[in-house]
Amino acid sequence: MSGVKSKSDGANSAPALAEQKPKLKPCCACPETKKLRDACIIERGEENCRDLIEKHKQCMRDLGFKI
C-alpha cells in the first residue's frame, strides 16, 4: 500500500508546473498592442515606435511570457 501513496505524491507536482505556463501562444497574445505596434512600424519605422514596442512587450510579460 505504500506504493499507492508515492504514486499520488508525484501527481501533486504536475498541476503546479502546468499553471506557470502561459495559456496563449505568443502570436495570439495582446492583439490590441500588437496591431498598433505593427501599424506604427510599417508607417513610421521601428526607431519611431519604441513606446508602442515597449507597451506590447509589457503586455506579453503581464501574461507570463518571458521577453
Would you give the DSSP letter of residue 26?
T
60 neighbors 17 (Cβ within 8 angstroms): no
27 annotated to bind ligand? yes
Cell readout for 48 is 519611431
Would you tell me how many other CB atoms lie within 10 Å of the CB of residue 40?
A: 17
Show binding-site residues for Cu cation: 27-28
Specify binding-site residues: 27-28
